Amino acid sequence: MTGVVILAIFIATAILAPILIPDAALDVTKADGGRFEGPSFSYPLGTDESGRSILLLLAWGTRISLTVGIAATIISMVLGTAFGIAAGHFRGAGSHALVGVTDWFLVIPFLPLAIVLATVLGPSTTNLIIVIGITSWAGTARLIRAQTLSIEGRPYLERSKALGAGNWYQMSRHVLPNVFPLVLANTTLTVAIVILSETTLSFLGLGDPQAPSWGALLDRAFSSGAVSRGAWWYVLPPGICVVLVVLAFTLVGRAMERIVDPRRAS
Amino acid sequence: MGSKVLRAFITLAFVVMFNFFLFRMLPGDPIGLYARGRNQDPEQLVELRRALNKPLLEQFITYLRNPFDSTIDSTRFSRPVWEMIGERVWPTLLLLGTAILLASLIGIWIGIRAGWKPGGRFDRMSTGTTLILYSMPEFWLGMMLLIVFSVGAFGIPGMFPVGGISSPGVDTSGPMGWLNVLWHLVLPCTTLVLIYLADYALVMRASLIDERKQEYLTLARAKGLRDTMVRKRHAVPNALLPTVTLIFLSLGFVVTGAITVETVFSWPGLGLLTYEALRGPDIPLLQAIFLMFSIAVIVANLIAELLYVVFDPRVRS
């Protein structure tokens, strides 16, 4: 419940941001605050190294972080579910190949792989979405494959095959609707992971340098020396936003897991 | 056991292939990637171009002959890539080793206490805390710790160094030097420990909760064994297995944490090297680091799989 409320607040902020906040808030040349000012009445969260209001930057960041999060999750879920169902359904060499690919992506450490891909593709928001999507689908695939295997063992699928159902029909009409609740629960958890990934990659400078996503804000804070100045108002808020959103998605995801599959409840 | 080693080897082979071909599959000028934003000696450029004009397979075989070739130079530092990596390994091992050790001990302890009495006060408090820690970007935690404990904020005076592995001018080979390194180690290690223990605690807790349902524990209690002994002698050793396996398997996650935390604390290890390589981008260095990290994780996974068979006789086929 708490999770849903938190999410509602953030999503509302993301949607309303362009209406409530003038574009000038992001523009470095129009910044009129002092540098690294602490929180005050006119700048509730203080200013950054160029004098922009951190509160407004943060609100804009909500849009970017959530957009990247959801977009990358869609890619990850589509890939993961497709691979998972296919790997669980087919037998023989094809299945081994699919499982092999999934395992490879699971073993390789996320950040080095993401760094390599992002460097090669170049710094932009779209590339970031692609990179995160490519590096995150494997966990979902493994889960969906296990679920597919258990579904395939059920009698009605045998009956359907005996009646002449083709592969595509079986997978889309029988397996998919049955794995769907699990997919939904897993999606919510994946968004949490994806947002953390996006924050990390943006912090390392691999995203669009203009976009004030929360990770990018932390990157700017770090590079401009906010830490050595003790400018906690620059560092604390973006991080808290990330923690709240990730926590919210995690709580909602775990609740959904408990509904979908009570045996897995942790 | 042989099949597991073979699979690890195949995974490694794919890593090497991926590493090599990715940078050459790009549209556009690969020389441009190598020399991005940098003044390169025109003779060197001609050499590079000639080398890259050879057939792809021939280049691959040259690479395979010695992927650890000491003549591959970093484009940014003009030093052999593997020499640079060799220098930075020990600080990373020191930081990660200490962090993993502490995080395991503390995380497992928390997991045991929480899992033995699920729903109890300790469980609720610790699960809440670990969930929050789990949702935190590790570098943000590091930055906040720096601001509070190193620069000093909210009334707390700064007592720890702002970064690096030792203060300038300190001789790190003597005991006083070691103390200095230790002082520098506190904040980055604390950051990593807090992040890692969340994962370990959650797994240990889940594992122990599952173990409690086993029937042999009912028998132990029926025999008259005290609760503490049931826990210490029977439940925990068996529940420990998945946790220890997970600690090895989570090395990928550990590596991610290391890169960002080393950056924040200017800890001169492989993580910081990665960040510096990113700035270029220094492609040869990045390739080598990727290879290095992948090897470490693949080996750790292999060890985890082999250990699991050793400790759990039930999986031996």
Q: What is the pLDDT of residues B121-170, one digit of tens each?
A: 888 888 889 888 988 999 999 998 888 888 776 666 667 777 777 777 76
Confidence band of B52 (pLDDT split at 50, 70, 90):
low
In this prediction, residues A100-105 reach a mean pLDDT of 87
Q: What ipTM was estimated for this complex?
A: 0.83
- 3-state SS assignment for residue A53: strand
B120: left (phi over 0), alpha (psi -120 to 50) or beta: beta
Structure tokens at B137: 């970007």
Rounded to whole angstroms, how far apart are CA atoms A63 and A15? 7
Question: What is the Cα–Cα distance from B42 to B45, expressed in whole angstroms?
Answer: 5
The set of residues, in sequence order, having a beta carbon less than 8 Å from that of A117 and lying 6+ positions away, is A131, A134, A135, B22
Nearest residue to B127 (alpha-carbon basis) of B202, B208, B191:
B202
A26-34: list long-range contacts, CB under 8 Å, 24+ apart: A26/A52, A26/A56, A26/A57, A26/A60, A26/A212, A28/A52
Q: How far apart are CA A186 and CA A257, in angstroms?
A: 8
Residues B221/B223/B229/B233 CA torsion (nearest 10 deg): -100
All residues of chain B having their beta carbon less than 8 Å from the beta carbon of residue A246 are: 135-136
Residues 6+ apart with CB under 8 A from A58: A45, A212, A214, A217, A237, A238, A241
Higher pLDDT, A266 or B24: B24
**What average pLDDT score do residues B15-41 get?**
63
> Which amino acid belongs to residue A211?
A
B153 close contact with A: CB closer than 8 A: yes
Identify which of A226, A199, A228, A201 has the alpha carbon closest to the alpha carbon of residue A214: A199
Cβ pair A111:B287 closer than 8 A: no
Q: Please, are residues B115 and A266 in contact by the beta-carbon 8 Å criterion?
A: no
C-alpha torsion sign, points A235, A241, A244, A245: negative
What is residue B73's DSSP assignment? Answer: B
Look-up: residue for tokens 């990247």? A68
Decide: B287 and B84 in contact? Cβ < 8 Å: no
What average pLDDT does the structure give for chain A?
Answer: 80
Q: What pLDDT, on the 0 to 100 scale, is given for residue A266?
A: 40
Q: Do A196 and B290 touch (CB under 8 A)?
A: no
State residue B99's pLDDT score: 92
Contact B147 A232 (CB under 8 A): yes
DSSP-based three-state secondary structure for B227: helix
The Cα B252–Cα A114 span in angstroms is 12
Does the beta carbon of B207 lie under 8 angstroms from any beta carbon of chain A? no
In this prediction, residue B232 carries a pLDDT of 80
Of the partner residues A112, A221, A246, the one whose CB lies closest to the CB of residue B255: A112
Which B positions 101-140 lie with beta carbon below 8 A of chain A? 131-132, 134-137, 139-140
**DSSP code of residue A43:** S
Output the six-digit token pair for A104.
């490879």
Closest listed residue to residue A107, CA positions, set B14, B277, B206: B14
Q: Tell me the chain A residues in contact with residue B261 when contact means C-beta distances shorter than 8 Å.
A: none
Residues 6+ apart with CB under 8 A from A31: A47, A50, A51, A52
Mean pLDDT, residues A137-164: 82
Tokens 């087919």, residue located:
A90
Which pLDDT does position A23 carry in this prediction? 61
DSSP E strands, chain B:
152-153, 156-157
Q: Would residue B163 be called left, alpha or beta, if left means φ above 0 and alpha means ψ between -120 and 50 degrees?
A: left
Question: Which of B144, A26, A42 lies closest to A34, judged by CA?
Answer: A42
pTM: 0.84
**Which residue bears the tokens 């990637």?**
B33
pLDDT in tens, B57-106: 777 777 776 666 655 566 666 677 788 888 888 889 889 999 999 999 99
**Cβ atoms B204, B89 nearer than 8 A:** no
8 Å CB contact of A107 and B275: no
**Do the Cβ atoms of A144 and A179 come closer than 8 Å?**
yes
**In the predicted model, what is the mean pLDDT of residues A138-146?**
87
Residue B183 has pLDDT above 50, yes or no: yes
pLDDT at B156: 67
B270 vs A143, A203, B160, B172, CA distance in Å? 33, 17, 22, 19
Report d(CA A202, CA A198) in Å as an integer: 6
| Mean pLDDT value of segment B4-10 | 83
**CA of A84 to nearest chain B CA: how many angstroms apart?**
20
Beta carbon pairs, A and B, within 8 Å: 136
Q: A124 to chain B, minimum CA–CA distance in Å? A: 15
Q: Give the pLDDT confidence of A166-223 residue by residue, as tens digits.
A: 777 777 777 888 888 888 888 888 888 899 999 999 999 888 887 888 888 888 888 8
Residue B194 — pLDDT band, cuts 50, 70, 90? very high
CA distance A191 to A199: 12
The pLDDT value recorded for residue A33 is 60
Contact of B162 with B152, CB cutoff 8 Å: no
Contact B278 A204 (CB under 8 A): yes
Segment holding A177, helix H or strand E: helix A176-203
Distance from CA of A25 to the nearest CA of B (A): 24
Cα separations in angstroms, B165 against A128, A185, B196, B227: 32, 43, 21, 46
The confidence score (pLDDT) of residue A265 equals: 46
Distances (CA, A) of B90 to B84, B267, B280: 12, 11, 24
CB-based contact (8 Å) between B191 and chain A? no
DSSP state for residue A259 in the 8-state scheme: H
Q: What residues of B are in contact with residue A200 (Cβ under 8 Å)?
A: 137, 139, 256, 260
Q: CA of A191: which chain B residue's CA is closest? A: B135
In tens, the pLDDT along B195-242 reads 998 888 888 888 888 888 888 888 888 888 788 877 787 788 888 877
Question: How far does the CA of residue A194 sit from the closest CA of chain B (Å)?
Answer: 11
Residues 220-239 of B with CB under 8 A from A: none
Q: B60 and chain A: CB distance < 8 Å anywhere? A: no
Q: Coil, helix or strand for B157?
A: strand
Partner residues linked to B153 by β-bridges: B156
- Tell me whether B297 touches chain A (CB under 8 Å): yes
Q: Do A116 and B135 touch (CB under 8 A)?
A: no
List the single best residue of B6, B92, B143 to mutate versus A (max A Cβ within 10 A).
Answer: B143
Give A-chain residues touching B144 at CB under 8 angstroms: 232, 235-236, 239
A-chain residues near B255 (CB < 8 A): 109, 111-112
How high is the pLDDT of residue A16? 64
| Per-residue confidence (pLDDT) for residue A72, from 0 to 100 | 92
CB A212 within 8 A of CB A83: no
Is the CA virtual torsion B26, B30, B33, B37 positive or negative? negative
If you average pLDDT over residues A213-236, what whole number do you get? 84
Task: Name the region of B195 (left: φ>0; alpha: ψ -120 to 50; beta: rest).
Answer: alpha
Query: Residue-wise over A158-183: b if at least 16 C-beta within 10 A, else e?
Result: eebeeeeeeeeebbeebbbeebeebb
Minimum CA–CA partner of B271 in chain A: A112
Nearest chain A alpha carbon to B262: A204
